[in-house]
Amino acid sequence: MEDANLLLPGSLVAEVTTYVEPTAAGVGFPDWVLGQIVWRGQQLFLVSFEALVGGRVSSTAARSRIAVVKGVSGAPGLAYYGLVTQQIPRLATVAEGTIENLDDDSSELGEAVSAQVLANGEPALIPNLDYLEQELSRLTGR
């Protein structure tokens, strides 16, 4: 994201790929669903997490990438989906004692954020992927 880091388990990131312009997702999709991309022969939804939590859809830059995320809910048609990143994602080792919950009110960011934390001293958001996938399933009727 432009204004925050997302903290995801590395085991859920299938691949980080170059940003490609998505095709339209269809009528009735909110602005946080940017459209669809083809990844390894599969159609995936491309999501702007920033827009999902009430921000604006950021413009893409030369360093923008797509993090292909493995679905956690088991919803049909959502084995994978893409999250736009504003720069090249990096691995971070987060061990017990290097992460602390911030007292900030995550509820202002909506149900899409599980927690706001400091991970190795850097502020980050832990996304609620169950919620995100539930919303995608609801939108697609799957």
For the cut 70, the answer to whether the pLDDT of residue 118 exceeds it is yes
pLDDT-derived band at 1, boundaries 50, 70, 90: low
The more confidently predicted of residues 91 and 71 is: 71
The reported pLDDT for the residue numbered 140 is 80
Token digits of residue 79? 């084995």
CA distances from 59 to 8, 105, 116 (A): 22, 27, 24
Torsion of CA 71, 12, 67, 4, to 10 degrees: 110
Whether pLDDT at 112 is above 70: yes
In whole angstroms, give the CA distance from residue 101 to residue 98. 10
Of the two residues 7 and 57, the one the predictor is more confident about is: 7
Report whether pLDDT(62) > 80. Answer: no
| 88 pLDDT more than 90 | no
Residue 77 vs residue 69, higher pLDDT: 69
Domains along the chain? Answer: 5-140 (2.40.50.180)
What are the start-end ranges of the H helices in 31-128?
49-52
Taking CA atoms, 142 is separated from 39, 61, 116, in Å, by: 20, 32, 30
Question: What is the average per-residue pLDDT within 85-101?
Answer: 84
Global pTM reads: 0.88
Going by the DSSP 8-state scheme, the letter that residue 60 receives in this structure is P
Q: Is the pLDDT of residue 19 over 80?
A: yes
Per-residue pLDDT, averaged over 82-111, amounts to: 80
